[in-house]
């Protein structure tokens, strides 16, 4: 993972890369609208089950193409090993992804699409917090971003005149952000030993299966209701999950790391704009100030991480002794924790 980040900092930003990452952020941001609209027809577990199965299905052709490419360049055994590693790690990712996605979906019962989008984006601040417990050093400026993020939460979630009043949906979205942070840290480890495309496809099917089981236990899935929500489900599953993920991979291959992180960060901005234009949601001045502060915290955190990545380019990383003869894609990242 660190090797890939280091390589990204040396890439020249191109117009196609900017366009693909911007479209990715737009799709992810407007995906919150699809989730909100879909919840008017079907319940949370059912929505996530169908959405995840659609996302995984969309990625299957890309998985097949990638397997053929690996088999052609190396061997059938290497392709089989890559698929096995992807499935093994993807199952664990899928469990965490399922928890995060369902907390987020249940937040729509009590909160708005715009606020959920911003609260979910706080995962970029929880990543270094959780990293401390894994023995990773967090630079002092990053703590400033974390503090700014929590100040923004106060303005965004606390009701005026009710200093300790927090909306239930806001709390669920915040918990969702924590699990997405864990998810990111797991990906940091697993991408060094498994193909990202295989990981993503597997996690979608695992999350979909778990959500489907929970839906039959706690909800009453109706084919008719699912059909009525087909528009929102198709957008959230095909576009937000499958297509946007592909655009992210292709876009980051053509974009410098700092620019890429900022473009993807604009997902939250697109979500609030879409909530205003499509759902007619209005934010108070207090909530608007919270959005601005949170966006500043997220951008600041991204810039700090990009700066640290650039430092790593000029400072050679010490490999683990056991990795001396391992292929580049299978070396253990320095400081990585096997979650």
In angstroms, the CA 109 to CA 238 distance is 23
CA-to-CA separations, 271 to 28, 173, 177, 275, 333, in angstroms, rounded: 8, 14, 16, 6, 34
Strand ranges (E), the chain: 158-159, 162-166
**Who contacts 68 (Cβ-Cβ below 8 Å, separation ≥6)?**
79
Q: How confident is the model at residue 234 (pLDDT cuts 50, 70, 90)?
A: very high
72 contacts 234 by C-beta, under 8 angstroms: no
121 contacts 267 by C-beta, under 8 angstroms: yes
- Read off the tokens for 44: 């949370």
Q: How confident is the model at residue 88 (pLDDT cuts 50, 70, 90)?
A: very high
Question: Of the candidates 262, 3, 330, 297, which has an alpha carbon nearest to the alpha carbon of residue 150?
Answer: 297
**158 secondary structure, DSSP code:** E
243 contacts 58 by C-beta, under 8 angstroms: yes
In angstroms, the CA 22 to CA 44 distance is 28
Tokens 């061997």 sit on residue: 75
For residue range 256-287, list pLDDT tens digits in order. 544 565 567 677 777 777 777 777 777 678 77
Question: Of the candidates 184, 3, 201, which has an alpha carbon nearest to the alpha carbon of residue 83?
Answer: 201
Q: How confident is the model at residue 48 (pLDDT cuts 50, 70, 90)?
A: very high
In angstroms, the CA 36 to CA 121 distance is 17
Query: 69-78, 117-126, 319-328 — which one is most confidently predicted on average?
Result: 69-78
How many alpha carbons fall within 13 Å on the CB side of residue 126?
18
For residue range 147-190, list pLDDT tens digits in order. 887 787 777 666 565 445 678 888 999 999 999 889 888 877 88
Question: Of the candidates 153, 174, 41, which has an alpha carbon nearest to the alpha carbon of residue 107?
Answer: 174
Query: In whole numbers, what is the pLDDT of the chain averaged over residues?
Result: 78
- β partners of residue 257: none
Its sign, for the CA torsion 310, 313, 317, 322, is positive
CA angle centred on 103, ends 122 and 110, rounded to 5°: 90
DSSP 248-297: HHHHHTTS-HHHHHHHHHTHHHHHHHHIIIII-----HHHHHHHHHHHHH
**Who contacts 81 (Cβ-Cβ below 8 Å, separation ≥6)?**
none
In angstroms, the CA 248 to CA 96 distance is 21
| 3-class secondary structure, 164 | strand
- pLDDT at position 335: 41
- Read off the tokens for 10: 């040396």
In angstroms, the CA 110 to CA 173 distance is 10
In angstroms, the CA 254 to CA 14 distance is 6
For residue range 295-316, list pLDDT tens digits in order. 787 777 767 766 766 666 554 4
């Amino acid at each position: 993972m660190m090797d890939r980040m280091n390589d990204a900092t040396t890439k020249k930003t191109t117009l196609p890369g900017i366009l693909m990452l911007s479209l990715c952020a737009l799709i992810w941001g407007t995906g919150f609208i699809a989730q909100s609209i879909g919840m008017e027809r079907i319940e949370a577990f059912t929505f996530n089950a169908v959405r995840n199965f659609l996302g995984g299905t969309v990625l299957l052709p890309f998985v097949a193409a990638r397997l053929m490419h690996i088999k052609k360049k190396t061997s059938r055994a290497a392709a089989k090993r890559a698929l096995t590693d992807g499935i093994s790690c993807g199952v664990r990712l899928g469990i965490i992804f399922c928890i995060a996605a369902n907390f987020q979906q249940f937040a729509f019962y009590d909160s708005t699409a715009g606020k959920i989008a911003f609260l979910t984006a706080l995962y970029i601040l929880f990543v270094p917090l959780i990293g401390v417990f894994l023995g990773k050093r967090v630079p002092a400026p990053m703590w400033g971003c974390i503090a700014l993020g929590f100040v923004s939460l106060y303005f965004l979630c606390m009701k005026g005149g009710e200093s300790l009043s927090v909306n239930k949906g806001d709390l669920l979205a915040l918990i969702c952000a924590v699990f997405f942070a864990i998810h990111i840290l797991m990906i940091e480890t697993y991408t060094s030993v498994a193909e990202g495309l295989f990981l993503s496809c597997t996690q979608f099917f695992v999350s979909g299966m778990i959500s489907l089981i929970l839906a039959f236990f706690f909800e009453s899935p109706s084919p008719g209701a699912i059909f009525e929500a087909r528009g929102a489900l198709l957008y959230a599953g095909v576009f937000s999950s499958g297509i946007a993920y592909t655009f992210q991979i292709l876009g980051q291959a053509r974009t410098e790391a700092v620019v890429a992180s900022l473009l993807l960060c604009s997902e939250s901005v697109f979500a609030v704009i879409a909530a205003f234009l499509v759902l007619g949601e209005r934010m108070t001045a207090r909530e608007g100030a919270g959005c601005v502060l949170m966006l500043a915290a997220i951008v600041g955190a991204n810039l700090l991480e990009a700066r640290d990545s650039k430092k790593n380019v000029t400072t050679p990383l010490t490999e683990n002794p056991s990795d001396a003869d391992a292929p580049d894609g299978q070396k253990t990242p320095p400081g990585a924790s096997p979650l």
